Structure formats: C-alpha cells, structure tokens
Chains A and B, each alone.
Chain A
Amino acid sequence: MSVEFIKTDEDLPPVAVVERPKWTPAKIVLWVAIAIIAAIGWIMVAFVRGEDLSASWFVAAAVGSYLIAFRFYARFVEAKVCRPDPRRATPAELKDNGRDFTPTDRRVLFGHHFAAISGAGPLVGPVLAAQMGYLPGTLWIIFGVIFAGAVQDFMVLYFSMRRNGRSLGQMARDELGKVGGIIASIGILLIMVILIAVLGIVIINALAESPWGVFSIAMTIPIAVLMGVYMRYIRPGKVVETSVIGVFLLVVAIIAGGWVHENPFWSEVFHLEKTTLAWCLMIYGFFAAVLPVWILLAPRDYLSTFMKIGTILLLAVGIVIVNPTVQMPAVTEFASNTDGPAFAGALFPFLFITIACGALSGFHALISSGTTPKLIEKESQARLIGYGGMLMESFVAIMALVAAVCLDKGLYFAMNAAEPLTGGTAQGAADFINNQLGMTGVQTSPEFLENQAVLVGEESIVSRTGGAPTLAMGMAQILGNVFGGQAMMSFWYHFAVMFEALFILTTIDAGTRVARFMLGDAIGNFVPRFRDPSWNVGAWITTAVMVGAWGSILLMGVTDPLGGINTLFPLFGISNQLLAAIALAVVFALVCKMGLAKWAWIPGIPLAWDLAVTMTASWQKIFSSDPKLGYWAQHFAYRDALAAGETSLGTTEGAAAMQAVVRNTFIQGTLSIVFAVIVLMVVVMALWAAYKSITAKGPLPTTEEPFQPSRMFAPKGLIMTSAEKQVKEQWDALEPAAVQRTGQA
C-alpha cells in the first residue's frame, strides 16, 4: 500500500490522504465472496424455476451487485472522468456561510442527499411494473442504477461541485447557450408540473373513499402546524424532540383513524370523492406554497425525513425476518403484449419508463446540482454521496418490488385493474380476473377480496390503482408478520399509506413552491417585480398559475373515464426520464469539452439508452394506432364514435364521458409531443456543443471555477482509514485560529 499525504500549506497538517491499497489475499477472498453471493442471488432470481423463490435472493443479488459496482465501476468513472483533486477546495469550504454553503460530515450529507432524492417514486413504479413479473423489473432496477442512474447523479454532482453548486438549468445555459438554457428551463418546469400532478393522482387513489386514510392524512396538517409553532416559539432548534412528538401524534392519528372508520357519522364525514380530494389537494398546495415555510413546509419536511428513514429500515428488517415467498411468475404474459391492466404498453419501452426512480431518475439531477454540491467537504467524497446515495434508492425500489411480487396474484390484479374493468366490486373484480385478465394461473374469489379489505380496515380494495395501496398491502402483510399479526394489519396498511402520502405531499408542496419561484424568475425577465419573492401579489399569481397547471391535469386524471393512472403514469415516467436525458446530455457535452471524448461513452451509453426508451415511448404514445396505447389513436376513435352519434365505446358509457376522453387524450397527446420536442432540441444542442469541442483546435474556455487550495481535512470514504485518523488527530490538536479559513463573512 502506498500512502501519500497531500499538503497545500507547509504550516498546516495534510489536507488529504491518498491511499493506493494493494490487493492482499484477504481482500481478494472478500471480493470473490461478494461476487459469489451476488452470482448465486442472480442465478436464483433469473434462472431457477419451479421452486419457492424467497425474497432473500433478491437482497443477495442487489446488495452484491451494488458493492461490486461501487468498488469497481464507480471508481473507474471517478478515475477516468471526474478525477477529484484532493488539493482543491470545494464550494462548501470556499463560500462557507454556515448555512447553505457549509462543509458537512460525509455520513450526514449521505443521509441528507438520500432523504432528498428518495420519495414515493421508487416505491410506486416497481409495484406497477410487477405486472410483467419480477425478473424484468429486478434487472432494470439493478443494472439501470449501476450504469445509468448512479452515473448521472454522480457526474451531475461532480460538475456542479466544480461550478459552485450551479443548478442544472444554469449549467445548460453555460454549455448550450442562452436558447438551450431557456428551452431546458421550460422543460424542467413542465416536467415538474406533470410529476406533481401524477403523484397527486397516486395519493388520491389511495385516499378516495377511505375515511381512515383521509382522516389520518388530514391530521398531518394540524400536527405540522403544531410542530411549527412549537419550534418557532417554544423550543427553537429542538428538531429531534419536535419530530418525535410529531411522529407520536401521527401514530395516534392513525389509531384514531380506525375509530373514525368504525363510527358511522365520522366515517361519512371523511368519506370523500376523488374530485373533492383533488380540490382539497389544490387548496392545500396553494397555501403551502404561499405561507411562510415555518408554519407548514419545514415541520412537514422534518416529519417526512423521520418517517422515511424509520419506515425504510422497518421494511428492510421485515423483509429479512419474514423472508416472504414470491407469488408472481418471473415473466408474465403482459411483458410481451400490451394488455397489462396496471399500465399500458409492452416491456420495451414501457417497463423502463414505469420504473424511473430507483433506476434512472432525472429529478435527482436537480438535487445533485444546487443543493448537495454546496455542502460537500472534499471532491473525493462525491462518489460516496452521488453514486452511493443512488444505490441506496435503488435498494428501496427492490424492496418495493419484493413487497408487490410477494402478494397474492389475484389480489395484486384486483387492486391494479382500473374501475372500468372491475366495476369497482369484489364480484366484478373476481369475474374479470378469472375470465378476462389474460394471464394464466391467476384465480381469486369475491369472498377473498372482501376479506382482505376487512383485514386492512377498508370498505373495498378493488381497483385501488396507482401503486401506493398495493405497496401498503404488501407492507402490511410483511410487517404484520413481524409485529402484531393479522390484528395489526389494518394499522400497518394505514401506516404505509400515511408515509407514502407524507412523501408525496412534501414533494407537492415543495415542488409547487420551487415551481412558483422558477415561474417568477421567468416572468421577471419581462416584469422585473416578479423576481421579488417578498412581493405577495406576485407570489399569489405565480402560485395560482402553477397550482392551476398541475391541478387541471390532476382533475383530468381523477375524472378520467379510462382510469387515469394507467394512461397518465407513463407520462410521468417519460417526463422524469426526459429530464434525465437533459441532464445526461449536458454531462456528455461537458465530458467532451474537458477533452475526454474517449470516455464520453460513460454518460453516452445511458443517454443513448434513455433516448431510445423515451423516444420510442413518446413515438408510440403519439403515433400508435392501438387506442390502448396511442393518445391520438384513442382521441380519434372517440371523436369518430361521437360524430357517428354513438354514446358508448369500450368500457366508456355516455356521451359526456366520451367527450372527457377526447379532451384528456388531446391534452396528453399534446404534452407528449411538447416534451419530446423540447428534449430533442436540448440533446441536439448538446451534441453540437460536444462536436464543436472535439473539433476545436486547443482547449475551449472552461466554466469551472478557478482552483483554490483547500485548507481543511476530511476523510474520503464512509469509514476513516488509520492514516486518515492520524491526520485528523493532527488537525484536532491545532489552535482554532490556525485553521481560520476564507469563507464569506
């Protein structure tokens, strides 16, 4: 092993330790063992059939693959492209202001970054994708994250870190020019609108006609306000204490939801229709975005972070202890046709769109640029935080997939087939599954479905589409097995719904707020006053516009005669993946500009794959003649039927419903076109920028901030090495005055 101590100032201890470990026999044995575990996991998951497959093999395949990818591929990417400079000071060190720029312990930042990137997405997508069987989803989640998602997060984080934490939109403007920057910004804004709307539909599908769920989610608002007041006036800064009180109240709210469910009067009060809930969500979103954050947003964010970490740990422990048996086949009929009830479309490209978060999520590029790079202590930590954080999210997606594929198949499809197919009744769902589903080996009975609904304290679990209720059911079965048995299943079901709702509401309110600021900035180009965030009228106008934008899509989705989520979820996935295309294209251009065109395939392959997926999907959504798939085919089919004077088509009854389909497909089809065109323009501009830098004579001007030597020490990996410990002791022994740094006053 060679150890090099890096110094930038002779009077100070080293600022970094660069170690090049040699392969020792013990290490070789360790990595061979990890490889063998991963390989056995994969063999069991991918090839062994006809026996009961238990969930632990998924964990083995996933964790083994992640470790190998992190140790080898991520290091390769780091060595060839990112080349972190241990001498270089990061923005956190240079612009330290004790706030948004401040050097943050790598372990803490890892947690922060993970909490910021993971939400409901990795939980919902894999559940829907389970209709194609467990194998396609597992392969895409694990290989997707290794070669695409984690690479994107890592590289965006790295490039932003070298540019004082500039945002993706700003980097696009720097690299692609003003027009490219504006187009990318419009794309980001539109994509956020769709993301918020579809997440809203997911949560409304879980809450509609569920008095228990509605009551406990509604209670999170007064709980958050209480926490906000407590932290502002009574115990400022006592975050953990306040969160513990909040979580305690949350559990009380879930238990009280059970009483509401049983009480005829209150159950009627909280029994809300989807449209009512959509309006509630819009009103909530508006106020959350205009009120000061301390009242609602900040406490809800604490609550959501606390619940996120707790629940994910709980689920991991549950899966390991219960080790449930997989019920779904490896590959179902729906992988090769377009008849799946949970979402329409064939495996390629729609599986890769349905599972966005967890494998490749463009939204992460907004966190990896802007927030996290301002907090990182050392460039060498970007691999741990960017690549490692995304591997964690991928593992969450694997757990969600496991929870879904271990459910009874009949139950899974009864929950995920839209209401027009099942009629919304247990009898209808059983008839549909037994006779029309189009998949062999799935049988169920109305009694079984009714019994399952009673177990989780719901009136019905038929057609509870959107993924969240299915995951809640899977979690309830797993957690009920460990804690409390059947008697506790209804508690765990509503616990799971509650935590998904918390994530989604946090995304909706924070997203609306961010979108409001982005819109204000954009209008500010013409009416400068809109740039002033403290101007209330401007805040109300921009918020109303953004809420109106996602709210109209939300209303369209929840009233959609065809079920809503199965037609809109692909649009959500497509927009998220298109955002990834923008991020990867910017990264691709940057790599070429650095003179590293030889290594441009590292972001280039995921970019090409992502473009193939999103463009095929957009193409099919726009041009497919199959009305189940193509928005326009459906649009014209319904228009023609209406023109011919018909009052029903397929499962749609009545002229009003048919007109709704015509309207909805028009909007969905138009959005598909707009998204695809925007992204293609950005990608073409990025390729042009890359071409110019490859053919240019001499290096192009860089957009990197100039080098400044670091004057602080931080370890590289999660665990400090002994050499790093020695250096840390030297720093700890110094007088504080000796380590004074140049930050912003």
Chain B
Amino acid sequence: MSAAVARLAAPFRAVHWYLKELMGENAYQHYLASYERRHGTREGAMAERAFWRDVTDAQDRNPQTRCC
C-alpha cells in the first residue's frame, strides 16, 4: 500500500523539488553542503536567517541582468 502511494506521489514530489530548486528555495541547503565540502564541517557556517539576508545584500552589490 505505502509503496503504491509512494509511487503515485513520486511525480508530484519531483515537480515540487524542481520548483523549489528553480526558484532558489534550497539555496541555504546548497550553501551548507558547499560549506561542508570546503571546510569539512558545518560549524562556522552562516545561520539560515543571516544567510538569506546576505543573499539579497550580495545581489545589491552584484546585480544580474535579465534578458529581454
């Protein structure tokens, strides 16, 4: 039963995952993973709230073009 439910839910989960990735919702998780790759630990990484502030503040300094 639960296997069947999981199979049914799989495409919806995939769409949700893609949407979250595309919109950048998982940016913090990616940042943590990257931090761990570089430092071997997650200690010292920015906390979630500080990270999101930093993301938009960094955009202030490095604007990105959107095409026509």
Contact = CB atoms under 8 A, between A and B. Distances in A.
A370 B64 CA distance: 9
A364 interface: yes
Given A98-B34, A371-B64, A108 B40 contact: no
B65 to A, nearest CB: 5
Contacts of A511: 65-66
Interface string A348-375: 0000000001000101101100110000
B13 interface: no
B17 to A, nearest CB: 9
B57 interface: yes
A576 B63 CA distance: 20
A97 interface: yes
Interface residues of B, number: 41
Contacts of A154: none
Interface in B6-26: 16, 18-25
Nearest to A294: B56
Given A119-B68, A301-B66, A371-B64, 5 more contacts: A98-B31, A102-B34, A118-B67, A231-B52, A293-B63
Contact of A96 (B21, B37, B49): B37
A569 to B, nearest CB: 12
Contacts of A517: 63
A290 B28 CA distance: 26
Interface of B: 16, 18-25, 27-28, 30-40, 48-49, 51-53, 55-68
Nearest to B50: A236
Nearest to A243: B23
B45 to A, nearest CB: 9
A522 B55 CA distance: 26
Contact of A533 (B21, B38, B61, B65): B61
B23 A305 contact: yes
Contacts of B25: 237-240
A240 B65 contact: no
Given A292-B57, A292-B60, A744 B67 contact: no
Given A108-B18, A236-B48, A237-B28, A121 B68 contact: yes
Interface stretch (A52-60, A109-117, A249-257, A685-693): A109-117
Interface of A: 96-100, 102, 104-105, 107-108, 111-112, 115-121, 195, 199, 231-232, 236-240, 243, 292-294, 297-298, 301-302, 304-306, 309, 357, 361, 363-364, 366-367, 370-371, 506-507, 510-511, 513-514, 516-517, 533-534, 576, 736-737, 739-741, 743-745
B67 A514 contact: no
A302 B40 contact: no
Contacts of B23: 239-240, 243, 302, 305-306
B63 A510 contact: yes
A99 B65 contact: no
B38 A116 contact: no
Contacts of B21: 105, 107-108, 111
Nearest to A103: B34
A739 B34 CA distance: 11
A120 B24 CA distance: 22
B66 A510 contact: yes
B52 A361 contact: no
Contacts of A118: 67
B65 A367 contact: yes
A72 B55 CA distance: 40
B61 to A, nearest CB: 5
A354 to B, nearest CB: 13
Nearest to B21: A108
Contacts of A357: 67-68
Given A115-B22, A305-B23, A121 B56 contact: no
A305 B22 contact: yes
Given A99-B58, A239-B24, A740-B37, A371 B65 contact: yes
Nearest to B32: A98
Contacts of B35: 98
12 contacts: A99-B58, A111-B22, A116-B64, A120-B68, A236-B48, A293-B60, A301-B66, A302-B23, A514-B65, A533-B61, A534-B61, A740-B40
In the complex, which of the residues B33, B60, B63, B66 has the most CB atoms of chain A within 10 Å of its own CB atom?
Answer: B66
Contacts of B61: 533-534
B55 A99 contact: yes
In the complex, which of the residues B19, B40, B55, B64 has the most CB atoms of chain A within 10 Å of its own CB atom?
Answer: B64
Contact of A743 (B18, B38, B63): B38
A298 B34 contact: no
In the complex, which of the residues B64, B66, B68 has the most CB atoms of chain A within 10 Å of its own CB atom?
Answer: B68
Q: Which 3 A-B pairs have the closest CB atoms?
A: A98-B34, A294-B56, A121-B68
In the complex, which of the residues A108, A119, A305, A517 has the most CB atoms of chain B within 10 Å of its own CB atom?
Answer: A108
Nearest to B55: A99
A297 B65 CA distance: 12
Contact of B38 (A301, A510, A516, A744): A744
A681 B40 CA distance: 51
